[in-house]
Amino acid sequence: PFLWVYVLLGIALMTTAVFFIVSKWRKTIFLPAMAIAAVIACAVHIGYTYIAVIPIENYATEEEHLIEATLTEEPHRSYEKVYYQLKTVTIDGDKADGKLLLKLPRMIDVEVDDILSFRSQINVTENQYFRAKGFYIVSDSYDTVVTAVTPESHSLYYQAVRMRKSMREAFDMYLPEDSAALCKAVLIGDKYALD
């Protein structure tokens, strides 16, 4: 799947070599710098894939895994499913650092920073929108039983989420539905209320 990255890396390496061999091109700093930037970008992409993406995608198997993860964003409903954005802590007891998207048919009583535990099968995320946000694995099961534990101390981000939630409730209380949806989208980035 990353063949185009390897092809681009090869072209960038050859281009960089040509720019440094041909003396009249070497005098201009712009072209060699662009070629070096392309080489670095490809190397970073390949490195990130092998260090972060492939290890977390290795958990996508037919068997169920015991997952412990922290809720990083408020859940949102879309197309009759509720999406929970999680940062994995452990999978099957092993330390696992990655993002997981949990899809459930119902809303559960959890808040940002809560530690969720559940047993589920994991699949590779096919949705490019979520992959761009770093969610390479997904749990999509109707019968997943989730238990949640509230941590003793909360992160600074938790306070920002609480403030955002208060603003959302104020918009809903004092504005008409369509105006509230627009204000939530523009002012606090909550686009889920828009039709």
Threshold 0.95, pTM exceeds? no
Residue 26 has a pLDDT of: 58
pLDDT at 12 over 70: yes
Residue 117 has a pLDDT of: 92
Residue 25 has a pLDDT of: 58
Residue 30 has a pLDDT of: 66
CA distance 87 to 97: 7
Residue 134 has a pLDDT of: 87
pLDDT at 1 over 60: no
145-179 per-position pLDDT tens digit? 888 888 888 888 888 888 888 888 898 899 998 88
Exposed e or buried b for every residue in 7-42, given b needs 16+ CB within 10 A?
Answer: ebbeebbebbeebeeeeeeeeeeebbeebbebbeeb
Rg (CA), the chain: 22
Residue 3 has a pLDDT of: 66
Mean pLDDT, the chain, rounded, equals 83
The two tokens of residue 45 are 């992409």
Average pLDDT of the residues in 67-79: 87
Residue 84 has a pLDDT of: 92
Contact 125, 103 (CB under 8 A): no
DSSP 175: S
pLDDT at 47 over 90: no
CA distance 130 to 84: 12
pLDDT at 31 over 70: no
Report the half-sphere exposure of 190 (CA within 13 A, side-chain side). 24
79-126 per-position pLDDT tens digit? 888 999 999 989 888 888 889 999 998 888 888 889 999 999 888 988
